[in-house]
Amino acid sequence: MSAAGAARDPAFGETTGAGSGEAADALPAEAAGAAFDEAPSYRVRALPGIPEVRAGDDLAKLIASTGPGLVDGDVLLVTSKIVSKAEGRIVEAADREAAIDAETVRVVARRGALRIVENRQGLVMAAAGVDASNTPAGTVLLLPEDPDRSARAIRDGLRDALGVEVGVVVTDTFGRPWRSGLTDVAIGAAGVRVLDDLRGGTDTYGNPLGATVVATADELAAAGDLVKGKASGLPVAVVRGLGHVVAPADSPDSAGGARALVRDAADDMFRLGTSEAVREALTLRRTVREFADEPVDPGAVRRAVAAAVTAPAPHHTTPWRFVLLESEESRTRLLDAMREAWIADLRGDGKSEESIAKRVRRGDVLRRAPYLAVPCLVMDGSHTYGDERRDTAEREMFVVAAGAGIQNFLVALAGERLGSAWVSSTMFCRDVVREVLDLPESWDPLGAVAIGRAAVAPTARDARDPEAFITVR
Ligand SMILES: Cc1cc2nc3c(=O)[nH]c(=O)nc-3n(C[C@H](O)[C@H](O)[C@H](O)COP(=O)(O)O)c2cc1C
């Protein structure tokens, strides 16, 4: 973008007198060379002469004594490993896994022995950043406790020692989702505009930039890695020529540190690995009995039906049907008819009118829901054996398959951030339901599912120990 801008600058572009068409923009070699020399650029150099760092070392002093004259506006890229060593973050750990456990806040994904976790610093990375390389056997290196604080200490120390205003980025090496290969990123920063928010501006074509926030500190970290290398004993690099990314200590731009590069959970569309997401989706589904006064997206319900009908079923059948009650009128008609049927049952039980009125007055989860679905079982494709034992087993097989489909439905709704309550009432008045909803005789209602945004989050349930449900033979 900048180079293109320079080429169009009259000082370079308009004086060439070149021919027409595409060639009109081309510069003669000499002018092109001059334009190249003038184009935006920076230099990045590794800092030679940093000795093996030990616990208690003052990194700012080490850098100040070994570095070439640093100047205002330089940015130092400091490998986190030497920061950890200086801060004594080396621990005895014959068991690296235990050290990873201690640094882990939550597991994002796991495959075999590899764990991608969120660590105490909020960083999502392999093995919580616990490093067993470049450290004596039987020890592991933890990340700096607070890498932003570490960066500030180095920046302040260099100001004291050399009187220079520099930026400092503490870097570490990360893998990335979707991209092969590792790259350095900023885990700590001081005096650096870590993010360059271009939103509100326009590109060279005048298109508005609606989402462009550049991760400048990560770009600096990666630039430093190109000259530091991994095993060359060059843990610090200096970028010169990008003074505009350096922010004075008291400027609000430097306040956030590299913490500002950690995406908020609410904005993170990819918080979990696949198997972790499946597990979380399952536990996310809880019965919701109070709903917010918000309409339900019919598209979300259809996506949940699509998930429902992937459930296992006998003989390659598809025993699921879903009746969606999308209008208030249809819901009320069904619920009123079911109430009458219930009252008739209670009268049949010999209950007093007072007791019946009391029961019926009690809140009904289905009436409080902004959307209802009535899942039905169809026995299409079932076998008939002609004896009761096997015919009963056949029907039970279809019922459990129907239940599996409904569970899929509820889990998929939870994935759509929709709460649900699967209640049984339609099973107790199937003829009434079929009549009101005009369903074929062969459709068997299997309860009803109240659907809506949860008014309050369901209370947490203690994890159940699988062993209590298992018998091994
Ligand atoms: C077949 C079936 C029928 C149910 N019927 C009702 C019901 O009539 N009323 C109700 O409030 N909950 C009903 N539930 C929901 C259960 O009470 C609920 O699943 C249980 O308390 C466990 O809570 P959880 O769903 O949050 O895990 C029913 C659940 C199933 C599977």
Pocket test for ligand 1, best of 282, 283, 287 (most atoms within 8 A of CB): 287
Residue 12 vs residues 205, 273, 376: alpha-carbon distances, Å: 20, 51, 75
Q: Which of 140-149, 219-228, 241-250 has the lowest mean pLDDT?
A: 241-250
What was the pLDDT predicted at 265? 86
pLDDT of 15 above 80? no
User: Are the CB atoms for 196 and 102 separated by under 8 Å?
Assistant: no
Question: Distance between CA atoms of 335 and 339, rounded to whole angstroms?
Answer: 6
* Atom 6 (ligand 1) nearest CA: 423
Classify the C-alpha dihedral 398-400-405-410 as positive or negative.
positive
Nearest by Cα to 262 from 199, 190, 186: 186
Ligand 1 centroid, distance to 335 Cα (angstroms) = 18
Q: pTM of the prediction? A: 0.73
Q: What is the mean pLDDT of residues 270-290?
A: 89
Share of the chain above pLDDT 90, in %: 71
Q: What is the mean pLDDT of residues 47-66?
A: 93
Q: What is the mean pLDDT of residues 380-391?
A: 96
What was the pLDDT predicted at 460? 87
Ligand 1 centroid, distance to 470 Cα (angstroms) = 23
Q: Using 50, 70 and 90 to split pLDDT, how confident is the model at 255?
A: low
Q: Using 50, 70 and 90 to split pLDDT, how confident is the model at 24?
A: low
What was the pLDDT predicted at 275? 86
Ligand 1 centroid, distance to 430 Cα (angstroms) = 19
pLDDT of 7 above 60? no
pLDDT of 393 above 80? yes
Share of the chain above pLDDT 70, in %: 92
Tokens of 436: 């009101």
Please provide the average confidence, as pLDDT, over all residues in the chain: 90
Ligand 1 centroid, distance to 287 Cα (angstroms) = 7
pLDDT of 282 above 60? yes
The closest-lying atom of ligand 1 relative to the alpha carbon of residue 425 is 8
User: Are the CB atoms for 191 and 246 separated by under 8 Å?
Assistant: yes
Classify the C-alpha dihedral 156-162-168-173 as positive or negative.
negative
* Atom 14 (ligand 1) nearest CA: 423
Encode pLDDT of 146-178 as tens digits. 999 999 999 999 999 999 999 999 999 999 989
pLDDT of 89 above 90? yes
What was the pLDDT predicted at 11? 31
* Environment class of 309 (CB within 10 Å of its CB; exposed 0-12, middle 13-18, buried 19+): middle
Helix (H) / strand (E) containing 31: helix 29-38
User: Are the CB atoms for 108 and 94 separated by under 8 Å?
Assistant: no
* Atom 11 (ligand 1) nearest CA: 423
- The DSSP output letter for 14 is T
User: Are the CB atoms for 85 and 248 separated by under 8 Å?
Assistant: no
Please list, in sequence order, all residues whose beta carbon lies within 8 angstroms of the beta carbon of residue 95, skipping any fewer than 6 positions away.
Answer: none
What was the pLDDT predicted at 17? 34
Helix count and strand count (H, E) for the chain: 13, 17
Ligand 1 centroid, distance to 423 Cα (angstroms) = 6
Question: Distance between CA atoms of 269 and 263, rounded to whole angstroms?
Answer: 10
pLDDT of 187 above 50? yes
What was the pLDDT predicted at 132? 83
**Cβ 287 under 6 angstroms from ligand 1:** yes
> Buried (b) or exposed (e) across 289-300, using 16+ Cβ within 10 A?
bebeeeebeeeb
**Cβ 283 under 6 angstroms from ligand 1:** no
Question: Distance between CA atoms of 52 and 359, rounded to whole angstroms?
Answer: 78
Encode pLDDT of 229-247 as tens digits. 766 789 999 999 999 999 8
Encode pLDDT of 194-213 as tens digits. 998 888 888 888 888 887 88
* Tokens 């060279």 found at: 204
**Cβ 368 under 6 angstroms from ligand 1:** no
* Environment class of 405 (CB within 10 Å of its CB; exposed 0-12, middle 13-18, buried 19+): buried
Between the CA atoms of 379, 383, 386 and 392, what dihedral angle is there, to the nearest 10 degrees?
-50
User: Are the CB atoms for 64 and 161 separated by under 8 Å?
Assistant: yes
pLDDT of 431 above 90? yes
What was the pLDDT predicted at 211? 79
pLDDT of 9 above 50? no
* HSE toward the beta carbon, residue 85, CA cutoff 13 A: 18
One-letter identity of residue 218: D
What was the pLDDT predicted at 1? 35
Q: Which of 8-17, 109-118, 416-425 has the highest mean pLDDT?
A: 416-425
Q: What angle do CA 24, 29, 32 make, to 5 degrees?
A: 75
User: Are the CB atoms for 107 and 117 separated by under 8 Å?
Assistant: yes
